[in-house]
């Protein structure tokens, strides 16, 4: 299981959410509190962010080594400022390669995507059925071998096949995942954070078990006019558990909406 983080609000230096909180993403990489599978998140990490003053495609920084071993990230995170960023630390599913092609966040245009979860026996079960759903453009987008990137492919496929909102595209892609998993009789979990720089979407979804942990926080005294979504609370505060089997959405106004997936 990976650990996820998303931020949307006033521009901040990345180190204020990556390093400074007492239970930061760095700490969660080696001392997670709520992981249901695995002990460490030592199989790489990735960060994606948007320029605070220009409407450009996002930037990413990825590495396959543990986040605590990266000597460049502390300096980068004290330099880079953004009003929208997502990040994750990876605990790779057994049998999945640890290389940059499998390292999140995944990107398509302005969209960035990170996933915490799994598809049971992915290569033997849903690998081919999911790929059969892809348009040629989506098929060419997939560079790695993970279940995470193929779920991302379902989202992109929905987003580009019709004039859908990101919320509807994410919900449709997760409904497709659930239908395929039910047919193949496999378990899955899909905690996701996705952004286009102007909004954050997140899902907390699994079948048949309870989804992994996911929380949201809004207008904290240290992060006013901001929403933070995280696998585990970063610090003491008014954190709320994201409802299971649901999508939450927030935009620049800070309002938060909840949508059922099924």
Q: How far apart are CA 195 and CA 202, in angstroms?
A: 9
Among 2, 84, 103, 242, the one annotated catalytic: 2
Please, is 143 exposed, middle or buried when counting C-beta atoms within 10 Å of its C-beta (0-12, 13-18, 19+)?
A: exposed
Closest Cα partner for 146 from 217, 98, 200?
98
Closest Cα partner for 49 from 244, 200, 214, 245?
200
Q: Where are the beta strands (DSSP E) in 42-164?
A: 45-49, 59-63, 81-89, 106-108, 111-119
Conformation bin of residue 225: beta by default, left when phi > 0, alpha when psi is -120 to 50: left
**84 catalytic per annotation:** no
- Residue 70 gets which letter from DSSP? -
Q: Are strands 106-108 and 81-89 parallel, antiparallel or unpaired?
A: unpaired
Q: Are strands 206-207 and 246-250 parallel, antiparallel or unpaired?
A: unpaired
Q: Where are the beta strands (DSSP E) in 90-187?
A: 106-108, 111-119
Tokens, residue 35:
């992981």
Query: Any idea which residues carry the catalytic annotation?
Result: 2
């Amino acid at each position: 299981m990976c650990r996820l983080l998303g931020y949307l609000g006033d521009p901040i230096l990345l180190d204020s959410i990556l390093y400074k909180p007492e239970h930061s993403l760095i700490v969660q990489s080696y001392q997670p509190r709520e992981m249901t599978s695995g002990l460490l998140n030592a199989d790489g990490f990735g960060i994606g962010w948007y320029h605070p003053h220009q409407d450009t495609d996002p930037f990413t920084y990825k590495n396959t080594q543990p986040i605590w071993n990266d000597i460049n990230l502390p300096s980068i995170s004290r330099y880079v400022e953004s009003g929208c960023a997502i990040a994750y630390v990876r605990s790779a599913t057994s049998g999945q390669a640890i290389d940059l092609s499998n390292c999140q966040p995944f990107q398509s245009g302005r969209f960035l995507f990170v996933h915490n979860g799994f598809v049971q026996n992915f290569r033997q079960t849903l690998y081919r059925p999911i790929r059969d759903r892809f348009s040629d453009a989506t098929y060419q987008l997939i560079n790695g071998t993970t279940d995470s990137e193929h779920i991302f492919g379902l989202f992109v496929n929905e987003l580009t096949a019709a004039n859908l909102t990101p919320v509807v595209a994410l919900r449709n892609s997760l409904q497709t995942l659930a239908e395929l998993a039910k047919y193949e009789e496999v378990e899955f979990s899909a905690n996701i954070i996705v952004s286009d720089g102007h909004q954050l979407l997140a899902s907390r979804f699994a079948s048949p078990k309870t989804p992994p942990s996911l929380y949201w926080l809004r207008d904290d005294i240290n992060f006013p006019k901001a929403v933070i979504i995280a696998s585990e609370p970063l610090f003491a505060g008014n954190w709320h558990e994201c409802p299971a089997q649901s999508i939450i959405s927030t935009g620049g106004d800070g309002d938060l909406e909840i949508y059922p997936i099924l």
